[in-house]
Amino acid sequence: MNQFIEKGHIKVAPEVYHALMNGRPVVALESTIISHGMPYPQNYETAKEVESIVRENGAVPATIAILDGTPFIGLSDDQLRRLAILGRKVQKTARRDIPHIVSAGGNGATTVSATMVFAHKVGIPVFVTGGIGGVHRHGEQTMDISSDLTELGKTPVTVISAGVKSILDIPRTLEYLETQGVTVAVYGSNEFPSFFTENSGCQVPCRLDSPEECAKLIDANSNLSLGTGILIAVPIPKDYAASGNMIERAIQQALAEAKEKNVIGNEATPFLLARVNELTGGASLVANIALVKNNARMGARISVALAKLRRGTVRSAL
């Protein structure tokens, strides 16, 4: 196996390192989606396919996770499989969990917030995932607001996602992102998508219609050193959006069950995702996989457009 390159306390895969050093496009990928977002073996297969899609579209994939206490940027096949098999035995790792997992020599699957932290440390500007966390329903009482939102407010990485699941409070999530100063854009629409469907009833002012437009937005944010992240929401492909309404009904049932069982905190999202998958007989998983792959395609194209735009003007953060 190729030797990882050590940078500070982080190990970077050689392919990722050389791409960054040469200004070539790299796309960061999170690992909680692998450990907690899907069951084995679909999680492993999807992770591999997502990496292939990123490559086919001209960028280098960099899946991020903490293994035996070391943060890795770009996982080997063995590491990816290990993470997929361990599944929920791996600690779901948000920003606040990083020091604990590292000091204890543990295994951590990075959420959007922790993945953004590491992507930014090595200068990866674009990061692809399925959906981000948000303000939970009844968040005004529980204060359960994902650290993904505050991370977007302070870390200049662009996150490509299919929006926010309706297990969350979408209008309040958008309000909170506005408070954090995060630019929220939608690809090909003005309506923010709700993960399994193209609609949420919430309009956003920024619409982008090509990877080049996305790249220009990212470049403007960076040139002005605003320091905030960007969320680009890519609606689920039309072929899969059809099952959205059925999935939406399952979400309502899962929400009622979570309330009854008092499932709260960082257990809420994995519980709801697994329950919705059971209730829809796997249809939600099929839609989830399709939209993650679609996001990977878009993210790679955006990162290629950004590298072209910046050719010769950006120095590596390494």
Ligand X SMILES: O=c1[nH]cc([C@@H]2O[C@H](COP(=O)(O)O)[C@@H](O)[C@H]2O)c(=O)[nH]1
Give catalytic residue positions.
30, 165
Burial tier of 70 (Cβ tally within 10 Å: 0-12, 13-18, 19+): middle
Interface pick for ligand X out of 269, 280, 294, 303 (rule CB under 6 A): 269
Using CB under 6 A, count the residues that bind ligand X.
20
Nearer to ligand X, 43 or 183 (CB): 43
Nearer to ligand X, 192 or 195 (CB): 195
Distance, in Å, from the CA atom of 127 to the CA atom of 113, rounded to the nearest integer, reads 11
DSSP label at residue 189: -
- Interaction between residue 32 and ligand X (CB under 6 A): yes
Give the helix ranges, DSSP H, for the chain: 14-21, 32-35, 42-56, 77-86, 98-103, 112-122, 139-142, 147-154, 170-179, 211-223, 238-241, 244-261, 268-279, 283-310
**Which one of 14-22, 129-137, 247-255, 275-283 is the stretch in contact with ligand X (CB under 6 A)?**
129-137
> Cα-flanking dihedrals φ and ψ of residue 94, to 5°?
-95, 180
Residue 33 beta carbon to ligand X: minimum distance, rounded to whole angstroms: 4
Interface pick for ligand X out of 130, 163, 193, 299 (rule CB under 6 A): 130
Burial tier of 41 (Cβ tally within 10 Å: 0-12, 13-18, 19+): exposed
Nearer to ligand X, 79 or 304 (CB): 79
- Interaction between residue 244 and ligand X (CB under 6 A): no
Q: Strand 126-128 relative to strand 158-161: parallel, antiparallel, unpaired?
A: parallel
Tokens 């040139």 correspond to: 223
Distance, in Å, from the CA atom of 135 to the CA atom of 137, rounded to the nearest integer, reads 7
- Interaction between residue 146 and ligand X (CB under 6 A): yes
Burial tier of 312 (Cβ tally within 10 Å: 0-12, 13-18, 19+): exposed
Site string for ligand X, 156-195 (x = CB under 6 A): ---------x-----------------------------x
Interface pick for ligand X out of 46, 57, 91, 111 (rule CB under 6 A): 111
Nearer to ligand X, 20 or 107 (CB): 107
DSSP label at residue 68: T
Give me the torsion for CA of 262, 129, 160, 29, rounded to 10°. Answer: 140
- Interaction between residue 108 and ligand X (CB under 6 A): no
Nearer to ligand X, 195 or 240 (CB): 195
- Interaction between residue 132 and ligand X (CB under 6 A): yes
What one-character-per-residue DSSP string does 157-171 give? Answer: -EEEESB--TTB-HH
Interface pick for ligand X out of 4, 16, 20, 37 (rule CB under 6 A): 37
- Interaction between residue 133 and ligand X (CB under 6 A): yes
- Interaction between residue 131 and ligand X (CB under 6 A): yes
- Interaction between residue 255 and ligand X (CB under 6 A): no
- Interaction between residue 46 and ligand X (CB under 6 A): no
**Which one of 64-72, 79-87, 265-273, 300-308 is the stretch in contact with ligand X (CB under 6 A)?**
265-273
- Interaction between residue 33 and ligand X (CB under 6 A): yes
Residues interacting with ligand X, by CB under 6 A? Answer: 30, 32-33, 36-37, 94, 111-112, 130-133, 146-148, 165, 195, 266, 269, 273
